[in-house]
Structure 1
């Protein structure tokens, strides 16, 4: 199975929103509780940021998901660190695509002189936790009961990988 990555543009908003809306309405993978507008989505995903790019994940020319790097914190001392985000359509999960996607983001980060990647994950999202662990990320934080969705109190865990 060939997995490729294309720079995401605003023309991809509809496809990306469809994927993200699924995770909003059906899962606790994101803490948005209601579908967001296209304008709000544009604020979340760095479409034209040179340092923090976003990509469509393609499998045999079909959009399987999207991924991006984003600023970890908006202070200069954190410039060596980025957050890695991956969302795949459910039918593409469990096929090794997530592993290839995280590995791809690591290579992009290295080219951008980013030294540390962080994955911020809902504590109940066992698939994402397993994915980041399989990619060599180590658990570095656990925030208890910081979110609530579907009447469930949710933890957030952070996994990091030092790239240098």
Structure 2
């Protein structure tokens, strides 16, 4: 990878990241949104008032290619050492190792902030994401059947976890 960089999210990054996310809303089952999100909905999903959580923009050769984030797993204090990891990459970037680099980056951020466990919840149809998390040491710990409904089809989700140690 020529020049891969992760930088903290800035407000000016939100439109480009939202466009990437909405691509998956409109064209795939990766997102369980059924309609494109608005700027306010997207902003709320990538900015958290607690500085423990973070969204970083993924840049390749200076061009926005997606984002990676560690956000709250649940809104109860006992879960504070567990983070939810999410990655969205521009469709042209899939299969180039950027997802693995993003996971390794966000794990380092999470360790610095005292997280013990990271979880990623993935649509069971999303084989590239499942492969990337598995390749990076995440283990499937749950499979929930038919919990989403999109385009006339019930969808499963799988949860992958990694203990950071």
Q: What is the TM-score of this pair, normalised by structure 1?
A: 0.97
Q: What is residue 132 of structure 1 aligned with on the other side?
A: 133
Question: Do the aligned residues in 2 keep the contact of 1:136 with 1:161 (CA within 8 Å)?
Answer: yes
Measured after TM superposition, the shift of residue 42 of structure 1 is: 1.5
Q: SS of 2:31's equivalent?
A: coil
Q: What is residue 58 of structure 2 aligned with on the other side?
A: 57
Q: What is residue 41 of structure 1 aligned with on the other side?
A: 42
C-alpha distance after superposition, 1:121-142 (max 9, x if no partner): 0011011000100010000000
Measured after TM superposition, the shift of residue 45 of structure 1 is: 1.2
- Structure 1 segments of 4 or more deviating over 4 A? none
Q: How many residues align?
A: 164
CA RMSD of aligned residues (A): 1.0
Query: Any unmatched runs of 5+ in structure 2?
Result: none
Q: What is residue 106 of structure 1 aligned with on the other side?
A: 107
Q: Structure 2 matches for 1:67-106, cutoff 5 A?
A: 67-106=68-107
Query: Any unmatched runs of 5+ in structure 1?
Result: none
Q: What is the TM-score of this pair, normalised by structure 2?
A: 0.97
C-alpha distance after superposition, 1:66-104 (max 9, x if no partner): 111100000000001000000000101100000000010
